[in-house]
Structure 1
Amino acid sequence: MRPKLALTNAALSAVALLAGCGSGAGTTDTSEQPATSSVDMHGAPEVQNPLDTKAFQQKPCATLKPAQLRGLKMGDTKGESDDSTGGPSCTWTDRFAGPSDSTVQVTYMVNGAGLKHVYQQKDVFEYFRELSQIEGYPAVAGSSLAPQTPTPEEAGSCDVNVGVKNDLVVLTQITLGDDSPYQGDPCGRARDVATEVVKTLKAGT
């Protein structure tokens, strides 16, 4: 199942790189956020309370704690960190969701331009869905899929982008195993994981 996830991540990262590199340094100082009058958000909502993600960019696998993994029915699976095209990431093999392996990947998209660029590319993506806020932060499900699988439900995978700063998205990607109990609702599963991710960021530890 890993190749499918990699392709999705590469597709979104490649689009993000077209907009140039953004800063990954986290801050809670809202004065550093661009003013609405000077930056075109392309319809994306502004992040009202930006989160400091710097520590988690250095140790992305610390984003989901053991208790959270157990709560997500992922057991004690260990994450593997990587510096992907989009930015620092961690991937967990979710062997506890069904007989076949599923994967969960969280990426700090420091090489992108925030949620505004996801909105800018919404007509390019095969799917784009605005979601209700996750723990008070704007979120969308959106990315590119193979033409033969134009929806997350058909692909068994979903990308959820959460704007934690105006210039930084935390991307949660789910690829479900064939027998996963979450088949049919990959975006629901991705949202559940993204919710735990934002809880960690808000706690700061």
Structure 2
Amino acid sequence: MFFVKLFALLASPFALLWALIYAYRKLRIWAFLLLIGVLVFASVAAYKSYERRFYLNHVPDALGVSSITYELQESWGFGPGGNEAGILVYPLSGELSRQVEQGGVQFLQNMPRNQNQETRGWQGNYETWLETPVANPQWKLNAKTGRLDVMDYICVYGFCIDVAPDVVKDANEIVNSAGSYYAQGRIGIIVVSPKKKKILYFYNG
């Protein structure tokens, strides 16, 4: 079965190339260009759909997130030697904000397991939830403000991104104040703020 899948994977680009050559020979030029346009559009749409799902997978399904209000990410290099940094902000519905506010850590700790956790790997899987302010031995207080600064966490390895000032201000208020809840994932930290009705996910690597 492995070799069948490997052969299919390797054969796919050649099959596509052959199909394009065949289409080029058989179709009028305008029809061929239209076909190319459709293929490009479909490829971009498929990638964007995958990308959106990948970003949403950082949040447990039980929190009902279906959109992203802010996203900024960057990577430098690939593989084990590469680095990355990013922050995503998601809206939290009024009803779920109320449930989190009332249930606190227990609500988050007892959320049902994501149905597709096996295919998601580490994404959206958080074992221990705690109340803010965030306490992380690897995240030191800012020397100037004496408080946690999300930019210090995101840029800890020297690879930084230009996060919008209002997003930084809001995130800093959330991680330094009581009333929100956070968990450390395999990669990054997630923070649920019922008061602000939003979820933060930021990471470095």
The structure that has the greater radius of gyration is 2
The structure whose residues are more often helix, as a share, is 2
Is TM-score (shorter-chain normalized) higher than 0.5?
Answer: no
The structure whose residues are more often strand, as a share, is 1
Greater relative contact order (CA < 8 Å, ≥ 6 in sequence):
1
Q: TM-score, length-normalised on structure 1?
A: 0.35
